Amino acid sequence: MDTIYALATARGKAGVAVIRISGPLACEGLLPLVGSFGAPRVAALRRLRHQGEVIDQALVLRFTAEASFTGEEVVELHLHGSTAIVRAVLDILAQLPGLRMAEAGEFTRRALENGRMDLAQVEGLADLIEAETEAQRRQAMRVFSGALGDRVETWRSRMLRAAALLEAVIDFADEDVPVDVRPEVRDLITVVLSELRQEADGYKAAERIRDGFEVAILGAPNAGKSTLLNRLAGREAALTSEYAGTTRDVIEVRMDLGGLPVTLLDTAGLREASDPVEAMGIARAIDRARSADLRVFLLGGDDDRFDLAPEEGDIVVSGKADVAPVKGFSVSGRTGEGVEQLVSMLTERLTGLSASAATITRARHRASVLRSIGALETALKMVESRNLSEELAAEALRVAIAAMDDLVGRIGVEELLGEIFSSFCIGK
């Protein structure tokens, strides 16, 4: 196994830069550079020397294989964050025998290979590193700490019990097994089904927390959409001008609203367009706006009749508080009037949407959950029908369980038999 190294912090000038080295030669190989190591997990101040020359004064941290991120010997060099120092140290490491630059994700892969994390946790870690907002951090942390695995285990054990009941009736027809297992099977399936449906429903919110909510700003030409967007984003993201129809495409600005990742969409003004290019822009605007999580309708443009009606939860607001004050809620992107109130309304509504967030966060998870739901629905229909075909219901449960296994673990028939034997007295 090679010993690998890489810069663990971002490139560029900074207060501190950390280089991480992992592998069997992490300590031994670095001795010429650091001179000596302190105790494991205790920072030691060392002069880094190469060919008689001092490169930097650094904090050196050493982890043993039993207590490191990768499951291998790990050394961290905390350098002064100058690009020259980092480059010099990386060059020296490249010359050391048995060391090479890590590939992308190689540290995490080694953690996986060494059993330090399971696959779902790796996914969680990836999201954790990507997390930009508080809600993203919390959600990723949940997956990283194994919450998904725990939930799947609960569903799976219920399905396993239901399958075991059916199998007991099939395989031990001649024995002292309960005659009618239907009520319990039905109850078990019903409970799991309702929780899985909740997960599937909550997937959208969880996905949004991961990838960002979309909020579309809509309005007739000249309603002040772009100005408002710029005000919200605090920078000139969308081109604004006094002339109607300036924004011909959908412009996206990512921002953090009360801990939630939000992508604001500035859309082309909604009006009957004579210009085909503008017409395309409008069609696209309507599409994007329709699929967004929330819409802000700005009134006070050239023509306030839209092809798109506000849905429940959408915000309708007068957009030019500065030039044409109206009764009720109004904002102005130019003066900033009402913007704070709009932000808190948006935050409140998005927080409401994110409250239903599922434990599953990825399309892969959702596909498994949906597969399981479909199979459970089939099984339930069979269990509730007058002529129960146990073997077909059991088959459907197998499919449902297999879908869960794709998420975390594989079912063995031994488990199934174990459940049967611990529950019933088999053996005439």
Partner 1 sequence: MKHYDVVVVGGGHAGVEAADAAARMGAVTALISLKRDGIGVMSCNPAIGGLGKGHLVREVDAFDGIMARAGDMAGIQYRLLNRRKGPAVQGPRIQADRALYRQAVQTLLSRRQGLDIIEGEAVSFGLDGNRITGVELADGSFLQAKSVILTSGTFLNGVIHVGPERSAGGRVGDPASERLASMLREIAPGRGRLKTGTPPRLDGRTIAWDRLEVQQGDEEPMMLSFLNERPLVRQIACGITHTNERTHEIVRDNLSLSAMYGGHIEGVGPRYCPSIEDKIVRFSEKDSHQVFLEPEGLNDHTVYPNGISTSLPAHVQEAYVRSINGLEEVKILQAGYAIEYDYFDPCGLSRGLQVNSLRGLFFAGQINGTTGYEEAAAQGVLAGMNAVRYAREKDEIVLQRSDSYIGVMVDDLVTRGVTEPYRMFTSRAEYRLTLRVDNADQRLTSLGVELGLVGESRALAFAEKMARLDSGKAAMSAQGFSPRDLEAVGISVSKDGVRRTALEVMAFPEVTRAQIETLVPAVSEISGADFLQLHSQSLYAAYEDRQRAQVEIMRREEGQIIPAEFDYDTVSGLSNELKLKLQRARPESLAQAARIEGMTPAAIALIHIRIKMLSRARQEVSA
Nearest to 27 by CA among 70, 62, 2: 62
User: Given the DSSP bridges, would you call strands 3-7 and 99-101 parallel, antiparallel or unpaired?
Assistant: parallel
Burial class (CB in 10 A: 0-12, 13-18, 19+), 89: buried
Question: Which of 336/412 has CB closer to partner 1?
Answer: 412
For residue 119, state whether it binds partner 1 (rule: CB under 8 A). Answer: yes
Nearest to 49 by CA among 34, 60, 29: 34
For residue 426, state whether it binds partner 1 (rule: CB under 8 A). Answer: yes
* Binding piece for partner 1, criterion CB under 8 A, among 164-172, 210-218, 226-234, 259-267: 164-172
Shortest CB 372 distance to partner 1, Å: 16
Question: Which of 121/226 has CB closer to partner 1?
Answer: 121
Question: Which of 77/416 has CB closer to partner 1?
Answer: 416
For residue 115, state whether it binds partner 1 (rule: CB under 8 A). Answer: yes
Question: Which of 292/394 has CB closer to partner 1?
Answer: 394
For residue 26, state whether it binds partner 1 (rule: CB under 8 A). Answer: no
254 is known to lie in a ligand binding site: no
Burial class (CB in 10 A: 0-12, 13-18, 19+), 262: buried
Shortest CB 416 distance to partner 1, Å: 6
Question: Which of 173/355 has CB closer to partner 1?
Answer: 173
* Binding piece for partner 1, criterion CB under 8 A, among 46-54, 107-115, 226-234, 362-370: 107-115
Question: Which of 384/395 has CB closer to partner 1?
Answer: 395
Question: Which of 258/409 has CB closer to partner 1?
Answer: 409
Cβ pair 116, 71 in contact under 8 A: yes
Q: How far apart are CA 212 and CA 263, in angstroms?
A: 6
Q: Residue with structure tokens 């011909």?
A: 248
241 is known to lie in a ligand binding site: yes
Q: How far apart are CA 170 and CA 162, in angstroms?
A: 13
98 is known to lie in a ligand binding site: no
For residue 156, state whether it binds partner 1 (rule: CB under 8 A). Answer: no
115 is known to lie in a ligand binding site: no
For residue 394, state whether it binds partner 1 (rule: CB under 8 A). Answer: yes
For residue 405, state whether it binds partner 1 (rule: CB under 8 A). Answer: yes
Among 106, 118, 337, 384, binds partner 1 (CB under 8 A): 118
For residue 389, state whether it binds partner 1 (rule: CB under 8 A). Answer: yes
Positions in the binding site for partner 1 (CB under 8 A)? 71, 109, 112-116, 118-119, 167, 170-176, 387, 389-392, 394-395, 398, 405, 408-410, 412-414, 416-417, 421, 425-428
Binding residues for GTP: 222-227, 241-247, 266-269
